[in-house]
Amino acid sequence: MTRIVGHVAALNRYPVKSMAGEQLGVAEIDWQGIEGDRQYAFVRKANGTRFPWLTAREVPAMLLHRASFADPGAPKTSAVLIETPDGAAISLHDPLLHAHLEAAAGEPVGLLQVARGIYDSMPISLATTASHARIEAAHGCALDPRRFRANVVIESELAVNEWQGLRLAFGNDADGAVVQMADPIPRCVLITIDPDTAAKDVRVLRTVAQQFGNAYGVYATPARPGLIRAGDPVRVVD
């Protein structure tokens, strides 16, 4: 038995951890997640912990840098371009970009590429328009969905946490991906940062923490590689 529970409203890929990403018409799902997602990350060279990444927690302005693949269909080998806040297009490997991040972080930084993706937990994040609307209602004003950096946004009347533990299939059985829904996504200070200005609003995290158990969205892992397309029907499958 299958039932349609929504349609894909948006697909997002983030070539560089903690930078703005790119919206996709089609996402290729393989066993590590969305091909090219979080493939690069800046690291704090002197940080020997299990979380050495330089993120918008330390440098909020990272979110104002937009990363994209020069060849979107070949992310493992493609150059990565960065659109800076002033509109310039530079290479991810530009020494001036690295120097700028080091100055903002106040410590040495490096760049790491990991083809399987550099995730905090699981490789795919999903949200629904219904869940987002509930948070906006509780918060009392509109919230830009980009704050929450979901890979897949589903137009649905259902809250995304209703699908915990279930499998979702996208598109048709010929080449559509299937994902296994897992745990709610715990949220941190990143959602307080405005994606257009980098200004912080701590009330956003307070709303999510106090009224939604500090969770927005649900993690998922690939259950069958394939494609997800914008507009695809989304089905719960056995």
Please give the C-alpha separations between residue 191 and each of 26, 171, 215, in angstroms, as whole numbers. 26, 30, 11
% of the chain residues with pLDDT over 70: 100
> Does the pLDDT value for residue 13 go beyond 90?
yes
pLDDT in tens, 37-48: 999 999 999 999
Average pLDDT, integer, range 198-225? 98
% of the chain residues with pLDDT over 90: 96
> Does the pLDDT value for residue 210 go beyond 90?
yes
Which pLDDT score, from 0 to 100, does residue 115 have?
82
> Does the pLDDT value for residue 118 go beyond 70?
yes
Give the Cα separation of 218 and 238 in Å (integer). 19
pLDDT in tens, 24-40: 999 999 999 999 999 99
Give the Cα separation of 134 and 10 in Å (integer). 18
| Distance from the Cα of residue 26 to its chain's centroid | 15
Structural domains in the chain, CATH included, are 2-237 (2.40.33.20)
Average pLDDT, integer, range 5-16? 98
The most distant pair of C-alpha atoms in the chain lies apart, rounded to whole Å, by 56
> Does the pLDDT value for residue 92 go beyond 90?
yes
> Does the pLDDT value for residue 238 go beyond 90?
no
Which pLDDT score, from 0 to 100, does residue 1 have?
59
Residue 78: CB partners within 8 Å, gap ≥ 6? 36, 69, 70, 71, 72
Residue type, 218: V
Residue 68 three-state SS? strand
pTM of the model: 0.95
Average pLDDT, integer, range 157-162? 97
> Does the pLDDT value for residue 201 go beyond 80?
yes
- Give the Cβ contact number of residue 111 at 10 Å: 16
